[in-house]
């Protein structure tokens, strides 16, 4: 992993290199939890550059074909999320705005899937860059190494 902090941007690059000729599955993600202290959650604005919702079963494992959705930009309000998405806009820049501040999570490369987490009753939102959907090691829907993926978090 290479981690760099430059000005107001934290960039994380992860590279997976196999040590043998065997195929190495790649399925990992990150959980950058975001908050806007002193700003009521109901007035937070979010931007979700997503195109397909991953339909899940009761265990939150993808089950069935994805459903087309439109990108969302608006108040978080009372909305809750624990949802996976793919077919992200390029570049995929998720954002949280409020109180004169903006936090962006950019999926720069190698993260074709996102999990959006914003539980009810909690002043937190998480835009999770993922290399593969949940349960990918079972379904085979994963890339193989060598593999590199980069995301960044920018505060403005």
Report the alpha-carbon distance of residue 60 to residue 47 in Å, rounded. 22
CB–CB of 62/114 below 8 Å? no
pLDDT of res. 38:
95
- Mean pLDDT of all residues in 8-36: 96
User: Measured at the alpha carbon of residue 125, what is the angle toward residues 122 and 61, in degrees to the nearest 5?
Assistant: 100
User: How many domains is the chain built from?
Assistant: 1
pLDDT in tens, 34-45: 999 999 999 999
Do you know the residue count of the chain?
156
pLDDT in tens, 72-125: 999 999 999 999 999 999 889 999 999 999 999 999 999 999 999 999 989 999
At 103, which CATH number? Answer: 2.70.98.10
pLDDT band of residue 23 (cuts 50, 70, 90) is confident
E strand or H helix at 93, and its extent? strand 92-98
To the question of pTM greater than 0.85 for the whole model, the response is yes
pLDDT in tens, 55-65: 999 988 888 89
Report the alpha-carbon distance of residue 109 to residue 103 in Å, rounded. 19
The boundaries of the domain holding residue 137 are 2-155
Buried b (16+ CB within 10 A) or exposed e, 75-114: ebeebebebbbbbbeeebbbbbbbeeeebbbbbbebbbbb
């Amino acid at each position: 992993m290479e981690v760099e902090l430059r000005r107001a941007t934290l960039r994380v690059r992860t590279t997976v290199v196999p040590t043998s000729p065997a195929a190495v599955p790649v399925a990992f993600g990150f959980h950058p939890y975001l908050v806007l202290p002193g700003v009521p959650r109901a007035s937070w604005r979010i931007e979700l550059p997503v195109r397909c919702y991953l339909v899940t079963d009761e265990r939150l494992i993808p089950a069935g074909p994805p459903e087309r959705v439109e990108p969302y930009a608006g108040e978080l309000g009372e909305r809750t999320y624990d949802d996976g998405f793919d077919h992200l806009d390029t570049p995929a820049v998720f954002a949280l705005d409020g109180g004169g501040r903006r936090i962006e999570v950019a999926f720069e490369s190698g993260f074709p899937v996102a999990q959006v987490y914003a539980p009810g009753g909690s002043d937190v939102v998480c835009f999770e860059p993922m290399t593969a959907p949940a349960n990918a090691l079972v379904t085979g829907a994963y890339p193989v190494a060598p593999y590199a993926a980069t995301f960044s978090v920018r505060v403005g």
